[in-house]
Amino acid sequence: MKEVGTNQRVRQWMQANRFAGKELAEWAGISKSAVSQVLTGKTGISLKSIQNILEHHKELNARWLLTGEGEMYYKKALSNSNPETKDRIIS
């Protein structure tokens, strides 16, 4: 069984929310070409970029993103979201 790393979880999170690479580049503070390299596994995502993403998306579970443990989103953040956001997160 192939291990799923942080890069794959970033991709999974982006796909679940239909985020574009341009958005990730902005949130992570990296170039669009760096995003492409992260998403294809050519390079790892830096801790600073992860911190930047988490600052913009407080609902995203840092433990899940870094280790794969737990759920993608904090339950409290999900319960406080508006219905439209909940639909995007759950579907």
Among 13, 4, 25, smallest CA distance to 62 is for: 13
Residues contacting residue 13 through CB under 8 Å, at least 6 positions apart: 19, 60, 65, 72
Q: Hey, what are 67's tokens?
A: 């280790």
User: What is the rounded CA–CA span in Å between residue 11 and residue 19?
Assistant: 9
Dihedral over Cα of 66, 68, 74, 79: its sign: positive
Percent of the chain whose pLDDT exceeds 90: 75
* pLDDT one-digit tens code per residue, 25-61: 999 999 999 999 999 999 999 999 999 999 999 999 9
pLDDT for 4 equals 72
Q: Map residue 85 onto helix, strand or coil.
A: helix
Residue range 58-75: mean pLDDT, rounded: 94
Q: What is the pTM of this model?
A: 0.76
